[in-house]
Amino acid sequence: MRGPHNIWRLIRTGATLERTGAMGVILDALDAPRPLRIAYRALVWPFKWLGIEGDPSMPPVTRALTALGPAYIKFGQILSTRPDVVGEDLANQLRVLQDKLPPFPVAQAEKQIEDELGMPVSELFSEFSEPVAAASIAQVHKARRADTGQTVAVKVLRPGIERAFRTDIDAFYFSADVIETLSPASRRLRPRDVIAHFESVVMGELDLRLESAAASEFAANTKGDAGFQLPEVNWGLSGRRVMTMSWAEGVSLGDNAAIDAAGHDRALLSERVLQLFLNHALRDGFFHADMHQGNLKVAPNGDIIAYDFGIMGHIDEYTRRVYAEILYGFIRRDYKRVAEVHFEAGYVPADRDVDAFARALRAVGEPIFGMDATRISMARLLSYLFEVTERFGMETRTELILLQRTMVVVEGVARSLNPHMNIWDTAKPVVEDYIKTSIGPRAVARDLMLTAKVLGRFGPRLPGLVEAVLIRQAEGDTAPKRNPWPARLGWGAGGLALGAALTLAWHLWA
């Protein structure tokens, strides 16, 4: 139900942030102006007593988000990868949300496994541990298969997690409605569409059969990638609420001390994690869309191991080409071409000035070229980017939210390993390689061949299709006029891609 009763949920959210002391920490981390602090306190303080107390042993922000529920925890996971935005101390506090949340009892996990797989845990596994990791949606147990002796990881959904997420998402929808009503200017950001996208992603994450399928596809795409490993799905011991995979042995990518003690090169790892993501997004169009430290390990041989495939992203070939061309334009500092690509794809309204847009992009890109990453204020950069999108009427492209979000997270992971890494230099070889193979004469020839094959399949029907179109025009068809297919292509997936790609590129720099 998305009605006014959600006002209570929103009031309780603000009250919980105030009661736990989380809001003060957040406002300090974001360096919020004094008027905003005063206004917030005036609105929320009277309702403070209504807030959830949470676990007093936790730091304030972690305590508040954990008390509020899984959707809020997801948001905290994203912030945990951005010490440049929220500060190192707060990012470290939030990192426990990735895989160190309070677990649910083993007995409940065993009951769910038995209900899902139709056999008692004691018959399936000779050993079954206490939870080794617990996140917002599920927890993981280390086990040993009774039949083969193989060590495996068993992922089990939290009891009642579907209902908990539905409650949060309904409140988010209500918030979006209120925002759109009170602030018409915010409609270009499409808050309801953003929440709808978030809902679709989360609902897919709550069916572990889909995660198993995604893991299998991802493994097939990346089997030749040097320095990258994935655990193997055990289909016979997996279902909707249970997923079993081979055990991944390694050090968490979020534990720099352990990485150093194991003798791994953090600078090399920071470059590898970014290049792997770009390769998967550009080459395959299918990428891990939840690449925070809690889902990544470093194997004893130095390979990066990824797991938890509940959120995966997909982008089509046209979008990938647009994305690559934008990144390549920024790498070459050819802002005019980057601006033109945006207009060609329909990401910026055609009535805006392409030269003015190019200058705005230059104002974003030039200050960060050659600058040490530790001296770049990500919060300030994002603030300016928001101004640019507003000035040029650029709308939120919900189709590319996962790409944008993942780029922000991956960049944060890379920076946590090596704060001085040069994002542009790291991205350049991957983007250049994709440009060579996917944009240019060879790509054009390949596209024409594919087009000819499609036309060939429709060959016998083409005369009839053309005749039908001519008859409709002659009869003065009153159906709504539609743009020619190339324009629709650009305004659709490609245009959105472009926008997201740019924003991605923007996040890439910090």
- Characterize the bridge pairing of strands 251-252 and 242-246: unpaired
Residue 363 has pLDDT above 90, yes or no: no
What band does 118 get if pLDDT is binned at 50, 70 and 90? Answer: very high
pLDDT confidence of residue 51: 80
- DSSP conformational letter for 58: S
pLDDT confidence of residue 510: 35
Return the minimum-mean-pLDDT range out of 76-80, 152-156, 474-478: 474-478
> With the CA atoms of 390, 396, 397 and 399 taken in that order, what torsion angle do they form, in degrees rounded to the nearest 10?
160
- Characterize the bridge pairing of strands 296-298 and 251-252: antiparallel
pLDDT confidence of residue 222: 95
Distances (CA, A) of 147 to 115, 167, 234, 235, 249: 20, 41, 13, 15, 21
- According to DSSP, the residues that pair with 257 across neighbouring strands are none
pLDDT confidence of residue 89: 78
Helix axes 70-79, 401-417, angle to 10 degrees: 50
Return the minimum-mean-pLDDT range out of 5-9, 64-68, 353-357, 483-487: 483-487
CB atoms within 10 A of CB 424: 19
Catalytic site includes residue 290 = yes
What is the average pLDDT across 258-274? 94
- Answer with the residue of higher pLDDT: 67 or 484: 67
- Answer with the residue of higher pLDDT: 131 or 491: 131
Residue 309 has pLDDT above 70, yes or no: yes
- Characterize the bridge pairing of strands 228-229 and 304-306: parallel
Residue 496 has phi, psi (to 5 degrees) of -65, -40
Residue 54 has pLDDT above 50, yes or no: yes
Judging by beta carbons within 10 Å of its beta carbon (0-12, 13-18, 19+), is residue 172 exposed, middle or buried? buried
Residue 496 has pLDDT above 50, yes or no: no
To the nearest whole number, what is the mean pLDDT of the chain?
79
Residue 401 has pLDDT above 80, yes or no: no
pLDDT confidence of residue 483: 42
| Amino acid identity for residue 356 in this structure | A
Tokens representing 308? 């938890």
CA-CA-CA-CA torsion sign (496, 404, 270, 276): negative
pLDDT confidence of residue 467: 77
What is the average pLDDT across 209-217? 94
Calculate what percentage of the chain has a pLDDT beyond 90. 27
Question: Considering 84, 170, 225, 290, which one is annotated as catalytic?
Answer: 290
Please write the tens of the pLDDT for every residue from 333-344.
888 988 888 888
DSSP 3-state of 32: coil
Is residue 360 within 8 Å of 391, Cβ to Cβ?
yes
Please write the tens of the pLDDT for every residue from 60-111.
888 888 888 777 887 777 677 666 566 777 877 887 777 778 889 999 999 9
What is the average pLDDT across 443-453? 72
Q: Domain extents for the chain? A: 6-99, 161-204
**Closest CA relative to residue 412, chosen from 222, 277, 303, 264:** 277
- Measured CA to CA, the distance from residue 412 to residue 419 in angstroms comes to 9
Residue 225 has phi, psi (to 5 degrees) of -75, 120
- Answer with the residue of higher pLDDT: 489 or 271: 271
For the chain, first and last CA: distance in Å? 40
pTM above 0.85, yes or no: no
Please write the tens of the pLDDT for every residue from 345-361.
777 888 889 999 889 88
pLDDT confidence of residue 230: 95
Residue 135 has pLDDT above 70, yes or no: yes
Element (H, E) at 218: helix 208-222
Return the minimum-mean-pLDDT range out of 412-416, 456-460, 495-499: 495-499
